[in-house]
Structure 1
Amino acid sequence: MKLMVHYTLKNKGLLFFNFICVFGFIIIELGLPTLLSQMIDVGVVNNDDAYIKKIGLTMLAVVIVGVLMNISLRYFMTRITTNVAASIRQDLFEKIQDYSHNEYEQLGVSSLITRVTNDAYQVMLFMQNFLRTGFMTPMMFIASLVMVLRTSGSLASYVLMVLPFLLIGVVAIAGFSNPLSRKQQGNLDRINNILRENLSGLRVIRAFVNEDFEEERFDKVNKAYEKSSKNLFRLMSSAQPGFFFLFNIVMAYIIWQGSIQIDQGTLEVGNLIAFIEYIFHALFSFMMFSTIFMMYPRAAVSANRIKEAMDTEPIIKSKENGVTQTETSGYLAFDEVTFAYPGHAESPVIRDADFSAKPGQTVAFIGSTGSGKSTLIQLIPRLYDVSEGEILVDGVDVRDYDIDALRAKIGYIPQSAVLFSGTIKENLRYGKDDATDEELEEALDIAQASDFVAELPDGLDTYISEGGANFSGGQKQRLAIARAVVRRPSIYIFDDSFSALDFATDAKVRERINEETTDATVLIVAQRVSTIMDADEIIVLNEGNIVGKGTHEELLETSSVYYDIASSQLTKEELGK
């Protein structure tokens, strides 16, 4: 509830007007039965047409004001709740931007999507009902009971006898709905996870003819969600008929007893009619408030899930007053670096890595699958943090930088090229938002992407669909390379970024990059020996350990691991044998 109150209080001005409208609406709703009672007991009984007309016009004016109050109430309520939902989504999205890989793995990507969308929506729905009826019903209930007691104390006792039964029902339903709400939201997370995996892996699923398996997997989770939803909605829907059953019994009994009192002369007809209206407002207000009370567990589950994501602190943080500028540019050093994934300190994936690189130098990394190549270079922009040792960029430990300043020095191109929906131009400017068209064209030329972009009908304005699905793997990699080149960083990191390129294009791209990065440090992770043969230094990794350093020719002589890799890819002539 604290989270909902926190975001609601950000709209104090609107909340004040919402309260005024609620208060005015209550006065009007309870004023009408009072006026009706006076019309009957004074005007009708005394056959006073002028008085009846006067009260009638007053009631008409009250109704008009009431309609305006109700419209205003809905307006302010909608403004507040949409603001609350928007603020929650914005704050949660900004929080997620600071997460490291550890937090994404801990909470789950699909679950985070559900929290930003569905959970925020559930909170908004609850607040809509709360601001309209949650404010109104307690005051309406209290005011109605006061009017009931003033009108007929004897009839009021029958109402008070029913309230404990209604209260017990509300508490019981709320208690049962809480675990059902948690189960429902958990099943929704699993639906989103399967759907996300299915859409992203659709080609693999079709290639292995596993559509039926995926349909069964989805059907199982979908039915679990359906079952939990049915149980929850069945519980909630059973409440209203039960309340109305008691409500109608009470009303029928009050009319019966009221008729007896009228016959005895102890109660006037107008007062009975007003009493019925008051008791209607009292019981209906209680029922509406109980609905809010029963909705709360579901909203509380969503609010707690949002709060959990908000309260999750990333293990990788930007240092307060961290370094933003350095005297040098492009210098890199690993000093006895060891890294283990969080929670797996006993099995490090990188051990005692020690090497350095400087501007104008190309350093390559090669090794078998799972040897730690990609993990090693991901430590530089702090996608992960070292467990032991330190990484120095321009003489400063990466953990001492302002994290944005550190990453601004780096151009990172992952193996799986990530393109965003939008135009080619917008994607390239992701690296430098104020880049000119000339700079974009030059970057495309370096990445050997100019030709295929020029052939597109809209050129740089060609739209890229979600995930770059309308481009081939090689085209996406070249656009990703161009995006990094536009940035002109001091350290380039190519994480197997040439794997989708043919040998000729690979050679051309590397040649142009070497020409354009004479004042920058270039790091290349590769599986193909031909991609790294010309590197100034090649670092060979095996099971997280550096087992060789040197040029291509040196490693052929000194590193058996490198020789095995090279001999599996090169001819004897290329090996110099």
Structure 2
Amino acid sequence: MRLMWEYTMRQKKLLFFNFICVFGFILIELGLPTLLAKMIDVGVRNKDWEYVKVMGLWMVVITAIGLTLHILLTYVGARLNTAIIIDIRDDMFEKMQGFSHQEYEKLGVSSLITRTTNDAYQVMMFLGMLLKTGFLTPMMFTASLYLIMRESVSLSKFVFMAIPLLLIGVIVLARLSEPLSKLQQKNLDKLNMILRENLSGLRVVRAFVNEDFQEKRFKKVNENYASSSTRLFSLVAAAQPAFYFLFNIIMVLVIWFGSKQIELGTLEVGKLLSFIEYVFHALFSFMLFASVFMMYPRAAVSAQRIQEVLDTSSSIVEPEEGVIETSTHGVLEFKNVTFAYPGATESPVIRDVSFTANPGETVAFIGSTGSGKSTLIQLIPRFYDTTKGEVLIDGVNVKDYKLADLRAKIGYIPQKALLFTGTIRDNLRFGKLDATEEDFLYAAEVAQATEFISQKEHGFDEMLSEGGSNFSGGQKQRLAIARAIIRRPDIYVFDDSFSALDYKTDATLRQRLKKETTDATVLIVAQRISTIMHADKIIVLNEGDVVGSGTHQELLKNCGIYYDIAASQLSKEELA
């Protein structure tokens, strides 16, 4: 509830107008039965038709005002509710933007999507009901009880007899629904995870003819979600008939004993009619409030999940007075760097790695799968922090930089060339927001992307579908490289970024990059010897340890692991 209260209090003006509309609506709703009672007991009883007309006109006016206030209440409530949910989702998205890879692995990407969409929607539904009836019903209930007591103390006992039963019912329903709500949201997380995996890996599923397996897997999770939802909705659905049953019993008792009192002359007809209206408003208000209360456990579960995201602190902490600029540019140094994933400190991924890379140099990393190559270079832009040792850029520990300024020094091309929905131009602007047409043309030319871009109907304005699936793997890699080139960074980091290119394009691209990066530091992770054999320094990794360092020719002589990799890819003449 703290989360919802904090965000609601940000909209104080709308909250004030909501309260005014609620207060006015209650006065109108409870004023009508009072006027009706006077019309019957004074006007009709005394055959004063002029009085009846005046009361009738007042009732029409009050009804019109009540309708206006109800419309305003709905409008203001909707505006208030929407503003709150916009703030919640904006804050969640901003928070997630600052998460490190560790937080994404801990919370889960599918779960974060569910929290931002479905959980926020559950909170929105609850707040919508709360703002419309949450203020209205307690005030209406209290005012109705006062008027009930004022009209007839003897008949009011039936209402007070029902209240404890209604309270017990609401509390029991809330207790039973909370664990079901938690289970439902967990099952929804699993449902989204499987759906996301299946859609992103659809080609693999089809290639291995595993559609039936995936359907059974999804069906099982879907049935679990349906089961928890059915139990929850059945519980809530059973409450309404039970409330209405009790409601009708009370109305029958009031009418029965009220009729007896009219017969005895101790109660007037108009007062009985107004009393019935007050009872209706009191019990109906309680039922509406009970509905809000029954929605609360589901909303509370969703709010807790949202709060967990907002309360999660990133393991990558940015210094308040971080370094923004340095006198040198592009000098990279690893000093005895060891890294282990959280919870696995006994099994470091890389151990005691040290090397220096200067502007104009190309340093390459090679090794078997799982040797720690990609993990090592992800320490440079602080996707992870070192467990021991230091990573220095221009003589400053990367932990001492402002993150934006640190990453502005780096042109990172990931292993998977991830592109975003939009045009080619939009994707290249990720590297430089104020890029000019000349920048686009230059970056495309260096990345060997000019030819295929010019063949597209709309050129740089050609649309990419989600993930760039309408482009080939090699085209996506070249666009990712162009995206890094366009910002002209001090350090280029190529994480196996040439794997989808043919040998000719690879060679041409590397030759063109050499001219472009004469004043920059270049780091290359690769599996192909041909991609890195001309590097100034090659670092060979094996199970997280540096087992060789030097030029191509030096490593062929001095490093057995490097020689074995080279021998599997090069001819005997090339090895000589």
- Report how far residue 88 of structure 1 moved: 0.5
CA RMSD of aligned residues (A): 0.5
1:493 aligns with 2:503: no
Cα deviation digits, residues 104-154 of structure 1 (max 9, x gap): 111100000000011111101101110111100001001000000000000
- The DSSP-based 3-state class of the residue aligned with 1:487 is coil
Equivalent residue number for residue 56 of structure 1: 56
Cα deviation digits, residues 352-394 of structure 1 (max 9, x gap): 0000000000000001111100001110000110000101000
Distance 2:121 2:370 in 1: 42
Counterpart amino acid of residue 228 in structure 2: S
- Between the two proteins, the alignment pairs up a number of residues equal to 576
TM-score normalised to structure 2 length: 1.00
Equivalent residue number for residue 573 of structure 1: 573
Which sections of structure 2, spanning at least 5 residues, go unmatched? Answer: none
- Report how far residue 415 of structure 1 moved: 1.5
Distance 2:369 2:186 in 1: 35
Equivalent residue number for residue 469 of structure 2: 469
Distance 1:548 1:283 in 2: 81
- The DSSP-based 3-state class of the residue aligned with 2:457 is coil
Counterpart amino acid of residue 364 in structure 1: A
Equivalent residue number for residue 439 of structure 1: 439
Q: Which stretches of structure 1, 4 residues or more, deviate above 3 A after TM superposition?
A: none
Counterpart amino acid of residue 429 in structure 1: R
Equivalent residue number for residue 359 of structure 1: 359
Counterpart amino acid of residue 141 in structure 1: F
- The DSSP-based 3-state class of the residue aligned with 1:505 is helix
1:230 aligns with 2:230: yes
Equivalent residue number for residue 23 of structure 2: 23
Paired residues of 1:541 and 1:548 also in contact (CA < 8 A): yes
Distance 2:523 2:470 in 1: 29
Cα deviation digits, residues 314-345 of structure 1 (max 9, x gap): 10121111000000000000000000001110
Distance 1:516 1:161 in 2: 86
Counterpart amino acid of residue 283 in structure 2: L
TM-score normalised to structure 1 length: 1.00
Equivalent residue number for residue 167 of structure 1: 167
Equivalent residue number for residue 176 of structure 2: 176
Equivalent residue number for residue 196 of structure 2: 196
Counterpart amino acid of residue 303 in structure 2: A
1:220 aligns with 2:220: yes
Equivalent residue number for residue 314 of structure 2: 314
Paired residues of 1:495 and 1:524 also in contact (CA < 8 A): yes
Equivalent residue number for residue 150 of structure 2: 150
Paired residues of 1:337 and 1:390 also in contact (CA < 8 A): yes
Paired residues of 1:148 and 1:275 also in contact (CA < 8 A): yes
Counterpart amino acid of residue 435 in structure 1: A
Counting only pairs closer than 5 Å after superposition, residues 241-320 of structure 1 correspond to structure 2 as 241-320=241-320
Distance 1:274 1:160 in 2: 18
Equivalent residue number for residue 547 of structure 2: 547
Equivalent residue number for residue 122 of structure 2: 122
Distance 2:164 2:428 in 1: 67
Paired residues of 1:567 and 1:575 also in contact (CA < 8 A): yes
Distance 2:394 2:374 in 1: 21
Equivalent residue number for residue 527 of structure 1: 527
- Report how far residue 269 of structure 1 moved: 0.2
Which sections of structure 1, spanning at least 5 residues, go unmatched? Answer: none
- Report how far residue 350 of structure 1 moved: 0.5
Cα deviation digits, residues 410-458 of structure 1 (max 9, x gap): 0000121000000000100110011111111110010100000000000
Counterpart amino acid of residue 419 in structure 1: L
Distance 1:553 1:8 in 2: 68
Paired residues of 1:30 and 1:278 also in contact (CA < 8 A): yes
Counterpart amino acid of residue 228 in structure 1: S
Paired residues of 1:98 and 1:314 also in contact (CA < 8 A): yes
- The DSSP-based 3-state class of the residue aligned with 2:135 is helix
- The DSSP-based 3-state class of the residue aligned with 2:11 is helix
Distance 1:162 1:363 in 2: 80
- Report how far residue 20 of structure 1 moved: 0.4
Distance 2:240 2:28 in 1: 26
Equivalent residue number for residue 481 of structure 2: 481
Counting only pairs closer than 5 Å after superposition, residues 102-141 of structure 1 correspond to structure 2 as 102-141=102-141
Equivalent residue number for residue 239 of structure 2: 239
- The DSSP-based 3-state class of the residue aligned with 1:364 is strand
Distance 1:132 1:39 in 2: 31
Paired residues of 1:381 and 1:407 also in contact (CA < 8 A): yes
Distance 1:342 1:319 in 2: 21
Distance 2:319 2:341 in 1: 21
Equivalent residue number for residue 347 of structure 2: 347
1:414 aligns with 2:419: no
- Report how far residue 161 of structure 1 moved: 0.8
1:79 aligns with 2:73: no
- The DSSP-based 3-state class of the residue aligned with 1:261 is helix
1:12 aligns with 2:12: yes
Distance 2:474 2:176 in 1: 55
- Report how far residue 162 of structure 1 moved: 1.1
Counting only pairs closer than 5 Å after superposition, residues 379-418 of structure 1 correspond to structure 2 as 379-418=379-418
Distance 1:455 1:138 in 2: 68
- Report how far residue 49 of structure 1 moved: 0.7
Distance 1:409 1:192 in 2: 37
Distance 2:132 2:217 in 1: 41
Equivalent residue number for residue 336 of structure 2: 336
Distance 1:100 1:371 in 2: 22
Counterpart amino acid of residue 32 in structure 2: L
Counterpart amino acid of residue 117 in structure 1: T
Cα deviation digits, residues 235-292 of structure 1 (max 9, x gap): 0011110000000000001100000000000000000000000000001111111111
Cα deviation digits, residues 180-239 of structure 1 (max 9, x gap): 000111111011000000000000000000000000000000011101111010000111
Distance 1:138 1:434 in 2: 56
Distance 1:454 1:131 in 2: 56
Equivalent residue number for residue 368 of structure 2: 368
Cα deviation digits, residues 480-534 of structure 1 (max 9, x gap): 0000000100000000000000000000110000001100000000000000010
- The DSSP-based 3-state class of the residue aligned with 1:501 is coil
Equivalent residue number for residue 40 of structure 1: 40
Distance 1:269 1:58 in 2: 20
Paired residues of 1:540 and 1:549 also in contact (CA < 8 A): yes
Counterpart amino acid of residue 48 in structure 2: D
Paired residues of 1:367 and 1:527 also in contact (CA < 8 A): yes
Equivalent residue number for residue 457 of structure 1: 457
Paired residues of 1:351 and 1:545 also in contact (CA < 8 A): yes
Counterpart amino acid of residue 33 in structure 1: P
Paired residues of 1:425 and 1:440 also in contact (CA < 8 A): yes
Paired residues of 1:317 and 1:403 also in contact (CA < 8 A): no
- Report how far residue 158 of structure 1 moved: 1.2
Distance 2:208 2:462 in 1: 33
Counterpart amino acid of residue 568 in structure 1: S
Distance 1:375 1:128 in 2: 46
